[in-house]
Amino acid sequence: MKQILNHARIVLADRVIDNGALQIDIETGLIVAIHEHALPDGEDLAGALLLPGLVEIHTDNLEKHLMPRNGVLWPALPAVITHDAQCVAAGITTVLDALSVGDLEGDSVRLDTLHSAFAAINQGMDEGALRAEHFFHLRCELAYPKLMDELLPLIGHPAVKLVSVMDHTPGQRQYRDLEQYKKYYGKKKVGWSEDTFLAAVEERKTKQAQYAGRHKQAAVEMARARGIALASHDDTDEAHIEEALRDGVAISEFPTTLEAAAAAKRHGLATVMGAPNAVRGGSHSGNVAALELAHQGLLDILSSDYVPASLLHGAWLLHTQAGWSLPRAVAAVSRNPARSVGLADRGDIAVGQRADLVAMTTLGDVPLVRHVWNQGRRVF
C-alpha cells in the first residue's frame, strides 16, 4: 500500500523542493518516490517543511522520568514510555538512550536504575510499545570503581551502538574550573562546606588515579572488538584529541573549548555539541558556545542531551542564526548522527531510505512539530 504526502517543502540532502510530494510504501516502511511537484491526491501538508526524522545519539532525558522528584523512583517501563513519547513529539524517530555506567556521586539515580532502564527499553521495543526506535549509548564513567562489573552484562547487546569514555573528575575537562564544579554540584550537596567540598575533590582525584586509566583501556578494547562506535567526552585541548585518536575514537562529544573543537576537525572527528547550549545561547558550565563553533565551521552534530525539544530548535538556529543552509542544518540532527554510529538506512529523504519523517511549521522563530512518521507509520 502506498501513501502520498503532498504539497510539502521537502528538505533533501542538497536542496529544498518548494512544493513537492513524497510517496511511501507502508508495507516496507521505505520512501519509494520523490516528486518535484504536487500530485493530484494524497495527504495535504499545506506547505509544511518535511524533514527526515531526527536522530538523537546522546540523551539522558530518561533520567528525569525515572526520578521525577528528588528521592522518588518511578517504575522503569512507564518512565521509558513517557520519555519515548516526549522524544517523538520533538520529531526524534531514532534515539540512542545515553545510560551512564557508573557515577562519581554516591547517591545517584544513574546507579539505581541502570539495569532496570536497560531492561525496560528492550521490553518496550520488543513488545512494540515505543513510537521511536531505541538503541543504547553506554557512557562509561572511568573513575567509577565498579565500572567493569556494570558494563560487562550490557555491552554485548546488539542494540548498543555507541560507547563513550568520560571522566568527570573535578579539575579537568568539563570541570577544569573548580568554581564551576562547586557551583553545579553544590546544588545537589546543600550541606557542602569548603572543607567537605575539598575532601570530595581529593577523593575523586584519588579514584581517578586508581581506576581511570585501566578502565578506559578495557572499555575501548571491548567496544572496538564488537565494532561499536567510540566517543570521547568533554575534550578540552589538543592532547585530549590526540588521546582520543589513539583510542580509535570517531566522535568528540561536547568539546569544552574552541581549541579542542578545531583539533577534532583537523583530525577528522565528528564534533557533537548540545542543542540546549545553542538554544540558551551558551553552555551552563561556562564552556564554548555551540553557535560559536557553528560560525567557525567546527560543528557536525547536535544532541538534545537533557531537553528533547531542543534538537529541532537547535537545528533551526543553525539555519537562522549561524547562516547554515537548511539541508546542512537538518543534516546535523539527522544524517550526520545516523552515519556516525553506523546507521545508513535513515537520516535522509531519499528513495530507499526509511520513511522516518517530520512535518514542521514555525511559530515566530520557534519550530513546531506537526506530524511524525516512523517507517511510514504516523506516530504523532
Domain ranges for the chain, please list them: 53-347
- Region 183-198 average pLDDT: 59
Interval 225-255: pLDDT, tens: 999 999 999 999 999 999 999 999 999 999 9
Given a cut of 90, is residue 71 above it in pLDDT?
A: no
Q: Look up the pTM and report it.
A: 0.92
Q: What is the average pLDDT value for the chain, to the nearest integer?
A: 92
- Report the pLDDT value the prediction gives residue 183, as an integer from 0 to 100: 57
pLDDT tens digits, residue range 331-340? 999 999 999 9
Lowest mean pLDDT segment, chosen from 117-131, 171-185, 242-256: 171-185
For 3-43, write each residue's pLDDT tens digit: 999 999 999 999 999 999 999 999 999 999 999 999 999 99
Name which CATH class applies to 53-347: alpha beta
Residue 212's pLDDT is 80
For residue 162, pLDDT beyond 90? yes
Would you tell me the crossing angle of helices 213-225 and 147-155 to the nearest 10 degrees? 10
Would you say residue 172 has pLDDT above 70? Answer: no
Cα angle 285, 234, 140 (rounded to 5 degrees) comes to 115
Interval 199-225: pLDDT, tens:
666 667 777 777 888 999 999 999 999
